[in-house]
Amino acid sequence: METLDQFRKIFQNRHQYARDWKARTGKQVFGYLCTYVPEEVIYAAGILPVRVLGSHEPQDVTEPHIYTMFCPFSRDILAQGLQGRYNYCDGIVYAHSCLHMRQTFASWTKHVPMKYQRYIFVPAKVQSPRAEPLLTKEVADFRKSLEEFTGKPITDKDLDNAIDVYNTNRRLMRQVYETRRGEQPLISGTEATHMVLSSMVSDKAEHNKLLEKALKELPTRKDLPKPGTRLMVISSILDSVEFLELCEGLDAIIVIDDVCDGTRYFWNEVQPMEDRNNAIALRYINRPACPAKDWEKRNRFPFILNLAKEYNVQGAIVVQQKFCDPHEFDIPPIMNMLKDNGIPSIFLEFDITVPVGQFRTRVEAFLEMLQLELV
């Protein structure tokens, strides 16, 4: 389907997209390092926020800057900065998630000069009653710093427009994911991931038009994805489309996910409030949690289980970026929870590059086991 291919092209040509957008609008572009960055504030300032993503290519430029025992994603995206692949960005923004990404941001700001840089503190314990006022103040300070940088006020009307554009994108993505619930999903997991990743690196208003077009075309789609064993993927960032293609080339289809560039990115909206800063802060506090933010009630667990049940998942692939401590802490209880609810799972560990041969063998064996259990 041609419209679906446009999402893939935006993601694959994301650097050129940003350069072209900058040239035709005359506006600025910011890179951001974590999905806890309140993009609405950047967008309200007339700036395009783009997620800094990895290349999954071998590199040898980060060793003088961060430890090799840091997660591969943090090393990969730092390499992108050091190699100048984001030299079209006018600023870089990071919302605190983990030590590895914090060091990536610190190294980036030291060695990759940009006109604007901002660290936003996001509480680790978002369930704390103190998290809301703290993050509201952080959003307000961020808003003020962007006003000083651009020399223009960010009005409530500007924020309302940005919130509407972003909420529309989230709503449309939810509708797209609904098309994967049925016995015959209308899009594959790979195609859905292209849609989310492209939304992270493009103007959301333009992306919304593409989503609306895709949703109109999907019910009459002729080249439907091949049905197979229904899988869920659980991970941190999983921008390696090659891995998803591998899985879906083995008589399987990924129908749902719990990943940073999937449900956790778009699942909930900003709810209207008189204080826009507070409304935005609450959205990021209440979003499906990253393990680095889920330290008390473990809200991630019922969220994952509900998705698995709602999408009739037959098996789960649990993926860890090597050395990712927050996810590593979560994985054993998540796999036990899935097992207790009759959902088999397999654990895979990523480094920067995808070990295609090894993963193919393990996923094939997992799928064969599932087929035997389903007979």
Confidence category of residue 321, pLDDT binned at 50, 70, 90: confident
pLDDT in the model for residue 356: 79
Structure pTM? 0.96
pLDDT in the model for residue 297: 64
pLDDT at 298 over 90: no
Q: What percent of the chain has pLDDT over 90?
A: 81
3-state secondary structure at position 154: coil
pLDDT at 187 over 80: yes
Segment 74-97, tens digit of pLDDT? 999 999 999 999 999 999 999 999
What residues form DSSP beta bridges with 347?
Answer: 318
Question: For residues 254 and 238, is the Cβ–Cβ distance under 8 A?
Answer: no
Q: How far apart are CA 292 and CA 96, in angstroms?
A: 10
pLDDT at 178 over 80: yes
Across 49-63, 316-330, 332-346, 350-364, the highest mean pLDDT is recorded for 332-346
Burial-class residue 109 by CB neighbours within 10 Å (0-12, 13-18, 19+). middle
Comparing CA positions, the residue from 44, 37, 54 lying closest to residue 118 is 37
Segment 8-65, tens digit of pLDDT? 999 999 999 999 999 999 999 999 999 999 999 999 999 999 999 988 888 889 998 9
CA neighbours closer than 13 Å in the CB half-sphere of residue 322: 14
pLDDT in the model for residue 375: 59
Residue 199, amino acid: S
Extended strands (E) in the chain: 29-32, 48-51, 91-95, 116-120, 229-234, 252-258, 315-321, 345-350
